[in-house]
Amino acid sequence: VDPASVRARFAALVRDLQGEWCAALERLDGEGTFVRDAWAREGGGGGVTRVLEDGALLEKAGVNVSDVEGPVPAELAPALPGKADRFTATGISLVLHPRSPMIPTTHANFRFLTHGDTAWFGGGADLTPWYLFDDDAAAFHRALRAACERHDPGFYPRMKAACDAYFFLPHRREGRGVGGIFFDHFGGDDTARALAFVEDVARAFLPAWIAIAERRRREPFGARERAWQEQRRSRYVEFNLLHDRGTAFGLRSGGRVESIFMSMPPRVRFSYDRGTAPESREARLLDVLRAPREWA
C-alpha cells in the first residue's frame, strides 16, 4: 500500500478521534471545556491542540493532533530508519491529569511516520496511578489485551513488556506507572493492516480509562493524598524531560513547544527525599512500580 494513502486515512482517523475524545471527556468532566489552537509548523504541516484546564474532574487534559512534513533536520537523521531527505509525521497524543489522586493519570499516543519509502506506526497507551487499585490496572490491561488479540495473539505480551521497558526511570529504578502497551517501527510491509490494529487499540483505550474515572471519582482524599500526587507528578516530569523520545523528537524537529509540553502535570512538587511509611498505600505503589506485574 502506498504510504501516502495510509497517511491520509490515518490523518482523517486522528481528526475524528480528537473530536470524539474531547466530547467524551467534556461529558465526563461536566464543567470544563476544551480550548482549540490550530497551528502551522515552519517547514511544513501543522496541527490542532486542544486543552482543558481546571475542570471539575480533569485538572488538565490535552489532546493534540499533528500532521507535519518537511526536510529531515540534520540532528534527527541518525534516528530515522531509511535514507531520504524528507519525513512526514502524523499523530494524536492525549494526556489526562485528573484532580483526584485516586484517578490515575493516563497517556496515549498513536503516530505514523514516513521517511522516503520507509513507513511505520508507533504508539501505545499507559496508566500512571498515584494510589493503586489493582482492579483498575487489571481492567485497563484487559481492554488493551482484547484489542490486541483481535489482530495477533503475540502483540499484547510483546507490547506490554515493551511498555514496561520504555516507561522506566533508570535513576529511580522505578516504572512511571503500571504500564499498558508500547510499540514502535510497527507495520512491516503492510501498513494498511497495521492501521486497522492501531485504530482498534485507539478506540479501546479511552472507554477503559473513563470507566476507571467513573468508578473512582467519589473516592475520598485529603491533603496528604494530594501532596503525594503532586510529589509523584515530579517523576512524570523527570521522565518526560529526561527520557521521553517523543518530547526530544518534537523539540529537535522544530515542533510547537506548547503542544509538546501539554503533557506536563499542572501542579507539581519537588520535595527533598520524601520517603513512605512502612506498609502504607504509598509504599505499596512503589513496590509495584519497582517490580512490574502481569495484570491482564
Question: How far is Cα 7 from Cα 88, in angstroms, rounded to an integer?
Answer: 9
Q: Is 261 in the site for a second copy (CB under 8 A)?
A: yes
To a second copy, the closest distance from the beta carbon of 85 in angstroms equals 24
Q: Count residues contacting a second copy (CB under 8 A)? A: 28
Among 1, 238, 281, 286, binds a second copy (CB under 8 A): 238
Report if residue 269 touches a second copy, rule: CB under 8 A.
Answer: yes
Task: Give the cell for residue 104.
Answer: 490515575
CB 162 within 8 A of CB 279: no
Query: For residue 271, with 0-12 CB atoms within 10 Å meaning exposed, 13-18 middle and 19 or more buried, which class applies?
Result: exposed
**Is residue 267 near a second copy by the rule CB under 8 A?**
yes
* Region of 179 on the Ramachandran plot (φ > 0 left; ψ -120 to 50 alpha; else beta): left
- State which H helix or E strand residue 125 sits in: strand 118-128
Stretch that binds a second copy, among 16-24, 159-167, 214-222, 263-271 (CB under 8 A): 263-271
| 268 binds a second copy, rule: CB under 8 A | yes
Among 40, 165, 241, 283, binds a second copy (CB under 8 A): 241
Q: Which of residues 152-191 bind a second copy (CB under 8 A)?
A: 171-172
Query: Residue 101: enclosing H or E segment and its boundaries?
Result: none
Residues 54-83 within binding reach of a second copy (CB under 8 A): 60, 62
Q: Which listed residue (97, 107, 115, 141) is catalytic?
A: 107
> What's the closest the beta carbon of residue 36 comes to a second copy, in angstroms?
12
Query: Binding a second copy by CB under 8 A: which of 23, 40, 242, 283?
Result: 242
- Decide whether 172 or 193 has the Cβ nearer to a second copy: 172
Closest distance of CB 231 from a second copy, Å: 10
Cβ atoms of 147 and 200 within 8 Å: the answer is: yes
Contact with a second copy (CB under 8 A): which of 56, 79, 165, 251? 251
Measured over all CA atoms, what is the biggest interatomic distance in the chain, rounded to whole angstroms? 57
Binds a second copy (CB under 8 A): choice among 32, 55, 180, 265 = 265
- 40 binds a second copy, rule: CB under 8 A: no
Nearest in space to 33 (alpha carbons), one of 15, 13, 54, 17: 54
Cβ contacts of 290 within 8 Å, gap of 6 or more: 173, 174, 175
CB of 173 to a second copy, least distance (A): 10
Distance of alpha carbon 132 from alpha carbon 270, whole angstroms: 21
Q: Is 266 in the site for a second copy (CB under 8 A)?
A: yes
**107 among known catalytic residues:** yes
Span interacting with a second copy, options 85-93, 120-128, 193-201, 256-264, rule CB under 8 A = 256-264
Q: Of 242, 246, 252, 281, which Cα lies nearest the Cα of 94?
A: 246
Q: Cα dist. 10→5, 26, 49, 190, 193 in Å? A: 9, 24, 17, 14, 12
222 binds a second copy (CB under 8 A): no
Q: CA quadruple 130, 135, 137, 143: dihedral positive or negative?
A: negative
Q: Which stretch binds a second copy (CB under 8 A): 179-187, 199-207, 250-258, 286-294?
A: 250-258
Active site residues: 107
